[in-house]
Amino acid sequence: MSKQIERHDISDELYIYLQDNSERWYARIKVAGKWRSKATKQKEKEKAIGMAYRIQMEYEFMVDRDLLISSKRFRDVAEKAISTMQEALDNETGALSYKTYIQVLRKYHIPFFDRIYITSIDSEKLREFGKWRVEQFQRTPAKSTLLNHNAAMQLVFKEAVDQKWMLAAQVPALSAKGVESQRRAHFSPEEYNKAFDSVFQLEQNSPREKTRQIRELLMDYMEFAVNTGIRPGTEMESLTWGNIHIDTNEHNIIFYITVTKGKTIKHTGTREVVCRDEIFSSIQTLRERFPNRKPTDKLFRLADGSETRELGKAFDKALNEEDLKVSPHGVRTLYSLRHTYITWQLLTGVSMEVLAKQCGTSVSMIEQHYSHVTPKMYSKELSGVDLGKEITKAKAKKTSGMKQNNARLSELFKEWQVSYKRRGCI
């Protein structure tokens, strides 16, 4: 606890003092019958006295206009803001980003600002926080990270203003000068094939049955992610058999998936995702694995019906086996399969507007992270040379189902449609 080591009286209602934990003077002012303290930010005594007079005049001005407030410590205000956000989340009225804001406030802002008065946080204190944060990250945070931190901090300031613990004019400006967003790590068709083969080999050589089932499921999970653009994580893992629909168009069959849960559903609503035809083999093998499936059953589960959180770990092992974990644009994860889907689709000429709707994101996000793909989309026009070469399609899973002729496939799809009408899922 800090201790006062020197004091200089200016009047009966005003004095300045030094504490053992700072070289700068503080002002102590009696206003409206109550003593208040505020930092003068001055090291020299005479300058501190001048600043103390100025602070006293500001307080008297606020008293005359009934603007004087009782400030609160940052921790108390932040906890109140967190409580407000959590209540909104519990009532399903809050933004999903509130979860992130709560996390960053608890991990960064509260530990640093702690017992500092909310009204004492200025640009200088924010710069100190910025330096400390870099030390915690051990790197300069990305701009997107800083925007999240700033949004969380703004909610704390808003809470303080709403509760009359600070004035709107006292809210400092926040900076978001971070590292610009980088390209998203994805797979080339050849790399994806290598990763898929690696998982296949691991599945064939699994030491335990459950491990084999996890790797078997991973292959289907990969095929769904890279052929739909659905986000690995909540979006993928919330899919049920009832979310898969089929439609026929002349001699073709089209698969649709209804995405009902995930990162942006609250704002965009459920969306219908059109699947690439390469997804057929995975749907077929999943049907064979779960003959007694119901519409409400989760799609990605083990043979015994249980769910697993080991897919990411199994995927990492497969990537490390082929030296694919690290790419020139960052570390690859299951989420890289979504980036792969977007990149491949852009290269085939699918418009950003269509992709944005398909993937539940914005055109600006695609432009920001995938702008490097755009020149390649127009390689023929830009180079004046037609190479006559299409992008290699990712290979489908090695199953007997892909070797059936068109007549058999037509009969199979009819069977699936009958199943859909009978049980509510394909």
Would residue 176 count as lying in a domain?
Answer: no
Q: What is the pLDDT of residue 251?
A: 61
Instruction: Verify that 40 and 83 share a domain, yes or no.
Output: no
pLDDT tier at 417 (50, 70, 90 boundaries)? confident
> Pick from 64, 82, 108: which residue ends a domain?
64
The pLDDT tens digits of the residues spanning 28-56 come to 999 878 888 889 999 999 999 999 999 99
Rounded mean pLDDT, 390-417 = 57
Q: How far apart, in whole angstroms, are the C-alpha atoms of residue 258 and residue 238?
A: 11
pLDDT tier at 66 (50, 70, 90 boundaries)? low
3-state secondary structure (DSSP) of residue 311: helix
Would residue 181 count as lying in a domain?
Answer: no
Would residue 180 count as lying in a domain?
Answer: no
- Residue 193 burial (CB count, 10 A): 15
Instruction: Verify that 136 and 272 share a domain, yes or no.
Output: no
In the chain, what is the greatest distance between 2 CA atoms, to the nearest angstrom? 100
Q: What is the pLDDT of residue 259?
A: 93
Q: How far apart, in whole angstroms, are the C-alpha atoms of residue 256 and residue 273?
A: 5
Ranked by mean pLDDT, the top range of 180-189, 194-203, 325-334 is: 194-203
pTM of model > 0.85 = no
Would residue 184 count as lying in a domain?
Answer: no
From the list 123, 184, 146, the residue with the least C-alpha distance to 336 is 184
Q: How far apart, in whole angstroms, are the C-alpha atoms of residue 172 and residue 118?
A: 10
From the list 30, 29, 55, the residue with the least C-alpha distance to 40 is 55
Q: How far apart, in whole angstroms, are the C-alpha atoms of residue 48 and residue 5?
A: 16
pLDDT tier at 72 (50, 70, 90 boundaries)? confident
Task: Please check the confidence at residue 221 and state whether its pLDDT lies above 90.
Answer: yes
Q: How far apart, in whole angstroms, are the C-alpha atoms of residue 262 and residue 233?
A: 8
Domain that holds residue 414: 189-423
Q: What is the pLDDT of residue 51?
A: 94
3-state secondary structure (DSSP) of residue 117: strand
Instruction: Verify that 256 and 326 share a domain, yes or no.
Output: yes
Instruction: Verify that 218 and 349 share a domain, yes or no.
Output: yes
Instruction: Verify that 140 and 247 share a domain, yes or no.
Output: no
Q: What is the pLDDT of residue 265?
A: 65
From the list 89, 102, 96, 104, the residue with the least C-alpha distance to 231 is 96
From the list 94, 308, 284, 336, the residue with the least C-alpha distance to 213 is 308
Task: Please check the confidence at residue 80 and state whether its pLDDT lies above 90.
Answer: yes
Q: What is the pLDDT of residue 43?
A: 94
Instruction: Verify that 60 and 78 share a domain, yes or no.
Output: no
Q: Look up residue 387 and give its two tokens.
A: 């190479």
Q: What are the φ/ψ torsions at residue 245 (nearest 5 degrees)?
A: -130, 155
Instruction: Verify that 38 and 85 share a domain, yes or no.
Output: no
Would residue 183 count as lying in a domain?
Answer: no
Between 387 and 15, the higher pLDDT residue: 15
Would residue 69 count as lying in a domain?
Answer: no
Please give the distance of CA 155 from its chain centroid, rounded to a whole number: 18
How are strands ordered across the β-sheet holding 252-259? 244-249, 252-259, 271-274
Q: How far apart, in whole angstroms, are the C-alpha atoms of residue 260 and residue 316?
A: 27
Q: How far apart, in whole angstroms, are the C-alpha atoms of residue 27 and residue 17?
A: 7
Instruction: Verify that 140 and 198 share a domain, yes or no.
Output: no
Task: Please check the confidence at residue 409 and state whether its pLDDT lies above 80.
Answer: no
Instruction: Verify that 343 and 244 share a domain, yes or no.
Output: yes
pLDDT tier at 402 (50, 70, 90 boundaries)? very low
> Pick from 170, 205, 231: which residue ends a domain?
170
Q: What is the domain-level CATH number for residue 368?
A: 1.10.443.10
Task: Please check the confidence at residue 182 and state whether its pLDDT lies above 80.
Answer: no
Task: Please check the confidence at residue 129 and state whether its pLDDT lies above 90.
Answer: yes
Task: Please check the confidence at residue 200 and state whether its pLDDT lies above 60.
Answer: yes
From the list 197, 230, 231, 185, the residue with the least C-alpha distance to 332 is 185
What residues form DSSP beta bridges with 19?
Answer: 4
Task: Please check the confidence at residue 380 and state whether its pLDDT lies above 80.
Answer: no
Instruction: Verify that 133 and 90 share a domain, yes or no.
Output: yes
Instruction: Verify that 144 and 256 share a domain, yes or no.
Output: no
Task: Please check the confidence at residue 1 and state whether its pLDDT lies above 70.
Answer: no
- Residue 69 burial (CB count, 10 A): 16
Instruction: Verify that 219 and 357 share a domain, yes or no.
Output: yes
Q: How far apart, in whole angstroms, are the C-alpha atoms of residue 2 and residue 18?
A: 10
Would residue 177 count as lying in a domain?
Answer: no
Q: What rounded mean pLDDT belongs to the chain?
A: 85
pLDDT tier at 367 (50, 70, 90 boundaries)? confident
Q: Which amino acid is at 34?
A: K
Rounded mean pLDDT, 14-36 = 91
Q: What is the pLDDT of residue 364?
A: 81
Give the chain's domain count: 3
Between 167 and 75, the higher pLDDT residue: 75
Would residue 149 count as lying in a domain?
Answer: yes
The pLDDT tens digits of the residues spanning 332-349 come to 999 999 999 999 999 888
